[in-house]
C-alpha cells in the first residue's frame, strides 16, 4: 500500500514539475535555462510536499518517510533540470545530430570546423548565451566593454583548471587516437594579446 501511494505521489510530482516547466518557458522570462528548470523542480517539490504533509491520504507515511520523499523529488528535479533542458540547450553533441539532420543526414568530416566556427556560434548565439549565464552566476562582470572575472570566477577557474589537469582522463579517445590533449587545452594555444583589457 505504501509503495503504491509513494508512486502515486511521485507521479503527481512529475506531472507538477512538467506543468510548471511548460508554463515557465512559455509565459515567463528566463535568464538561464538551468536555473529556471531548477526553480521549477523546487516549486514542484514544495507544492507536492504540502499535499503529502497535509492530506489524510498520505497519513500512513511517517514524518521521516515524507521528508525522504521530498528529498528524492528535489533530486529528481535537479536531475531533470540538468539532464534534459540544459543538456539540449547547451549540448554540442545534440547540435551535431540536428545539423546532420538539417543537411540531409551527412556532412563531410573536413567541414566540421567551418560548421562549428561559422554556423554553431552564430545560430546558437553562443557568446551571448555563455556570457549571460556567467553574469547571472556571478562569475564575471562586464565593465566598459571588458569582461572580467569576479572573485568567484577566479576560484572556479582555478578549480576547473586543477581538476582538468589532475582528474580528467590521460588517455582519452579523440579522432581515433588516445591523447591527454584535453587535460591542458592551452598547451598549444597561441598567445594573442590584442584582445586583452587594459
pLDDT tens column, 45-74: 999 999 999 999 999 999 999 999 999 999
User: pLDDT tens for residues 116-141?
Assistant: 989 999 999 999 999 999 999 999 99
For the chain, give every domain's residue range. 2-89, 92-136, 138-170
Q: What is the value of pTM for the model shown? A: 0.80
How far, in Å, CA of 71 to CA of 76, rounded? Answer: 9
What's the whole-number average pLDDT of the chain? 92
Query: Distance (Å, rounded) from C-alpha 115 to C-alpha 99?
Result: 9
Amino acid at each position: 500500500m505504501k509503495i503504491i501511494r509513494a508512486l502515486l505521489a511521485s507521479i503527481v510530482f512529475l506531472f507538477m514539475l512538467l506543468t510548471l516547466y511548460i508554463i515557465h518557458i512559455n509565459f515567463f522570462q528566463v535568464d538561464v535555462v538551468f536555473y529556471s528548470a531548477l526553480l521549477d523542480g523546487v516549486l514542484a517539490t514544495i507544492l507536492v510536499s504540502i499535499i503529502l504533509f497535509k492530506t489524510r491520504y498520505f497519513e500512513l507515511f511517517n514524518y521521516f518517510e515524507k521528508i525522504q520523499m521530498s528529498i528524492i523529488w528535489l533530486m529528481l528535479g535537479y536531475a531533470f533540470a540538468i539532464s534534459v533542458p540544459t543538456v539540449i540547450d547547451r549540448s554540442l553533441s545534440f547540435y551535431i545530430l540536428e545539423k546532420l539532420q538539417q543537411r540531409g543526414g551527412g556532412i563531410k568530416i573536413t567541414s566540421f570546423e567551418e560548421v562549428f566556427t561559422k554556423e554553431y556560434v552564430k545560430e546558437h548565439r553562443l557568446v551571448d548565451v555563455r556570457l549571460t549565464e556567467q553574469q547571472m552566476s556571478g562569475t564575471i562582470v562586464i565593465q566598459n566593454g571588458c569582461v572580467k572575472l569576479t572573485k568567484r570566477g577566479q576560484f572556479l577557474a582555478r578549480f576547473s583548471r586543477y581538476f582538468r589537469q589532475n582528474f580528467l582522463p590521460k588517455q582519452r579517445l579523440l579522432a581515433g587516437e588516445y591523447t591527454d590533449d584535453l587535460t591542458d587545452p592551452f598547451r598549444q594555444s597561441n598567445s594573442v594579446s590584442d584582445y586583452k583589457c587594459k
